[in-house]
Chain A
Amino acid sequence: MVVDDEEVMRESLAAWLREDGYCVDTAVSGIEAIASARKQEYAIYFIDLKMPGGIDGIETMMEIRKTHPEASIIIVTAYATVDTAITAMKEGAQEYIVKPCNPEEISLLVGRIIKVKNLQRENTILRKKLTRQYSFHDIISKSPKMMDIFELVKDIASLRSTVLIQGESGTGKELIARAIHYSGERASKPFIGVSCAALAETLLESELFGHEKGSFTGATSQRRGKFEMADGGTIFLDEIGDISTKLQMDLLRVLQERKFYRVGGMEEIEVDVRVIAATNNNLEQAVRDGKFRDDLFYRLNVINIHIPPLRERREDIPLLAHHFVERISHELGKEVSGISEGGLKVLMNQNWPGNVRELENVIERAIVTCKARILTEEDFAFLTNNGNHSHEKKNWSVPTNMTLEEAENRIIAATLQRTHGNIKEAASILDIDRSTLYDKIKKYKLPRE
């Protein structure tokens, strides 16, 4: 678009650009240009700085930027001053040119801008294509293991069978549960999620099964539980490994008979609910240890889905990272368009004990603090400064003058120190379940931190 109050100026520049094969519209004033910009997107605006009887070129530019932040705006003036040049550039002008200018200058400028825009558009299209191609119900992956899971999800979506999803924290267990629900016949019915670890036992019982008025202190009215709310649909029981023995029994009954009583209730309530459970514990080990009922385990584990940790599907890291950059930069209103090769290398070298959720948080932190439009290795320096995430295993000199128990003691102590006492993370690194780690901490009387 060419915006200039002088007809000869406006039409001759438009004609010159049209000869170059561009589609060009013109506007006689800033107000007309803003109105046109609201209806249509223009790749480049040539806006005259001084336009009498209305708003000037910079004000026009600022208005257009509100609806088209990505537009390339060239301020044109015959009255060049340092102040106006600085103001124009500060307010977002791509270029500031003084007329008359050399034809070569305009040609090169327009050519350069168009080339960059074409590359950006191509980049966006390819990214969206990749995301669509590798996206399944908002789960982004191109890993063969995840592709198998997606196929399984499609196969089981319309079944009534209980599903047990196992995987480390942050691998997307709830996303898989939602994918199962929304791929099947229950999609139009409720999907109700419950975090079994978040609530104390008594509260969890009421949360799941509801309660009658007066059934306990604070129960001032009758309340429907999550099983009732999920009737016809799906209930997602997250962190199922953390529920008490009593609740395990109650849950077993619901799974067997599809019936339950509200807390303090006398009426048996029947529901048609598909149960999907998830855990980052080793439930088989918990069963062996007597901490989880084997009959409940077998009821839940009719269909088992194991989501691999991010470190076992590193090919997903660039895909996920770019997806998060696009989404988070848009949410935060920051112009960050990608990750440099060096930045990706840093990400690829991490172990990601927190998996996809951790990657998302890292990207968000990097975007918040970055100063440029591309995230580089400097923006991820906080990862390597911590020194505790690198995938590249440091050389570990194995001591040969101690017992196996002493070696185990030292390894566990070092890992706990590295994770600052985070049991979950330490267990993940050591590849043992948390209950085993707790036992060893007690055994060796190790401090948590």
Chain B
Amino acid sequence: MKAISIVALGEVDEESLSAVETGLWQSFGFDVRRTGLRSEPSDAYDAQRGQYSSVLILRDLVGYVSQEDVRLVGVTEKDLFIPMLSFVFGQAQLNGVAAVISLARLRQEFYGLPPNQPVLVSRSVKEAVHEVGHTFGLTHCTDATCPMSLSNNVRQVDMKGEDLCRNCSIILEENTKHIRARIQAGTEVRK
């Protein structure tokens, strides 16, 4: 069955994973499934920074994409970075097949605040929709309430909703037409 696959990289909050599964299904209309547990590739860890390279994790994920995967999304609790930036909430291949999100900075504890599960779950869904949206060709949206808007901090994540705005929805529909047609025709989908 062709679906968006979610893979937990190491131990990941179960409620968040479950919410992400639902959220991706609601936003993109494809079947979503959870695949087996994996760990982050060891060479992705940068000891100096104490963070994991999202670039290297993505490269690793791409190697595991199967014919049945519409998209493959990794979810980790580890803090991610790209060399240029101090951190990223996640990263995706624009018009590609793989994405990764981190829950590290979505947790209130990261900011010295008491844990807040509902907030964590909501933020996880938004960032997952955001990164998977990139894999379907969506770029950053200027509507601050759309999950595709760029978030540089959790305040901005919290301002977003979980549902794509009308503009992004229309673009998504256009960008995924061929995928849906092939799924219906029962042929291989991935770009």
Chains A and B belong together in one complex: yes
In contact, B82 and A12 (Cβ under 8 angstroms): yes
Alpha-carbon separation in the docked complex, A13 to B84 (Å): 6
Which of chain B's residues 75-107 have a Cβ closer than 8 Å to chain A? 81-88, 91-94
Q: Which 8 A-B pairs have the closest CB atoms?
A: A104-B152, A12-B82, A21-B139, A9-B83, A13-B84, A103-B152, A100-B86, A20-B140
Task: Known A18-B139, A19-B140, A20-B139; judge A9-B152 contact (CB<8 A).
Answer: no
Q: Which residues of B contact A18 (CB under 8 A)?
A: 94, 139
Task: Known A8-B55, A15-B91, A18-B94; judge A102-B85 contact (CB<8 A).
Answer: yes
In contact, B86 and A102 (Cβ under 8 angstroms): yes
Question: B53 on the interface (CB 8 Å rule)?
Answer: yes
Q: Which residues of B contact A107 (CB under 8 A)?
A: 150, 152
Residue of B nearest to A18 (CB): B94
Question: A11 on the interface (CB 8 Å rule)?
Answer: yes
Alpha-carbon separation in the docked complex, A34 to B30 (Å): 45
Q: What are 13 inter-chain pairs, A to B, with CB distance below 8 A? A: A8-B56, A8-B82, A8-B83, A12-B55, A13-B82, A18-B94, A20-B139, A100-B83, A100-B85, A103-B86, A104-B153, A106-B85, A107-B152
User: Which secondary structure characterizes the binding site on chain A?
Assistant: helix
In contact, A99 and B152 (Cβ under 8 angstroms): no
Alpha-carbon separation in the docked complex, A103 to B84 (Å): 9
Task: Known A19-B134, A100-B86, A107-B150; judge A11-B140 contact (CB<8 A).
Answer: no
Known: A15-B94, A100-B83, A103-B85. 12 other contacts (CB 8 A): A8-B82, A11-B55, A12-B84, A13-B83, A16-B88, A18-B94, A19-B94, A101-B85, A102-B152, A103-B87, A107-B150, A107-B152
Residue of B nearest to A76 (CB): B84
Task: Known A19-B94, A19-B139; judge A100-B81 contact (CB<8 A).
Answer: yes
Alpha-carbon separation in the docked complex, A132 to B107 (Å): 58
What is the size, in residues, of chain B's interface with A at 8 Å between Cβ atoms? 23
Number of A-B residue pairs at CB separation under 8 A? 67
In contact, A19 and B92 (Cβ under 8 angstroms): yes
**Shortest CB distance B141–A (Å):** 9
Residue of B nearest to A12 (CB): B82
In contact, A6 and B152 (Cβ under 8 angstroms): no
> Interface of A with B (CB < 8 Å)?
6, 8-9, 11-13, 15-16, 18-21, 76, 99-104, 106-107
In contact, B140 and A101 (Cβ under 8 angstroms): no
In contact, A103 and B88 (Cβ under 8 angstroms): yes
Q: Which residues of B contact A11 (CB under 8 A)?
A: 55
Most buried by A among B81, B150, B153: B150
Q: Which residues of B contact A12 (CB under 8 A)?
A: 54-55, 82-84, 91
Q: Which residues of A contact B153 (CB under 8 A)?
A: 104
Q: Which residues of A contact B49 (CB under 8 A)?
A: 100
In contact, A9 and B84 (Cβ under 8 angstroms): yes
Task: Known A21-B139, A103-B152; judge A16-B55 contact (CB<8 A).
Answer: no
Alpha-carbon separation in the docked complex, A86 to B139 (Å): 35
Q: Which residues of B contact A103 (CB under 8 A)?
A: 85-88, 152
**Shortest CB distance B187–A (Å):** 29
**Shortest CB distance B82–A (Å):** 4
**Shortest CB distance B79–A (Å):** 12
Q: Which residues of A contact B55 (CB under 8 A)?
A: 8, 11-12
Alpha-carbon separation in the docked complex, A265 to B89 (Å): 94
Q: Which residues of B contact A104 (CB under 8 A)?
A: 152-153
Q: Which residues of B contact A20 (CB under 8 A)?
A: 139-140, 150
Q: Which residues of A contact B150 (CB under 8 A)?
A: 19-20, 107
Most buried by A among B54, B56, B85, B93: B85
Q: Which residues of A contact B82 (CB under 8 A)?
A: 8, 12-13, 15-16
Alpha-carbon separation in the docked complex, A103 to B91 (Å): 13
Q: Which residues of A contact B83 (CB under 8 A)?
A: 6, 8-9, 12-13, 99-100
In contact, B53 and A8 (Cβ under 8 angstroms): yes
Alpha-carbon separation in the docked complex, A100 to B93 (Å): 21
Contact mask for chain B residues 32-59; partner A; CB cutoff 8 A; 1 contact, 0 none: 0000000000000000010001111000
Q: Which residues of A contact B81 (CB under 8 A)?
A: 100
Q: Which residues of B contact A100 (CB under 8 A)?
A: 49, 81, 83-86
Q: Which residues of A contact B91 (CB under 8 A)?
A: 12, 15-16
In contact, A101 and B92 (Cβ under 8 angstroms): no
**Shortest CB distance B3–A (Å):** 24
Q: Which residues of B contact A99 (CB under 8 A)?
A: 83-85
Alpha-carbon separation in the docked complex, A107 to B88 (Å): 13
Q: Which residues of B contact A15 (CB under 8 A)?
A: 82, 91, 93-94
Residue of B nearest to A16 (CB): B82
Residue of A nearest to B51 (CB): A100
In contact, A21 and B85 (Cβ under 8 angstroms): no
Q: Which residues of B contact A19 (CB under 8 A)?
A: 92, 94, 134, 139-140, 150
**Shortest CB distance A11–B (Å):** 7
Residue of A nearest to B86 (CB): A100
Q: Which residues of B contact A8 (CB under 8 A)?
A: 53, 55-56, 82-83
Task: Known A11-B55, A21-B139, A21-B140; judge A16-B152 contact (CB<8 A).
Answer: no
Q: Which residues of B contact A6 (CB under 8 A)?
A: 83
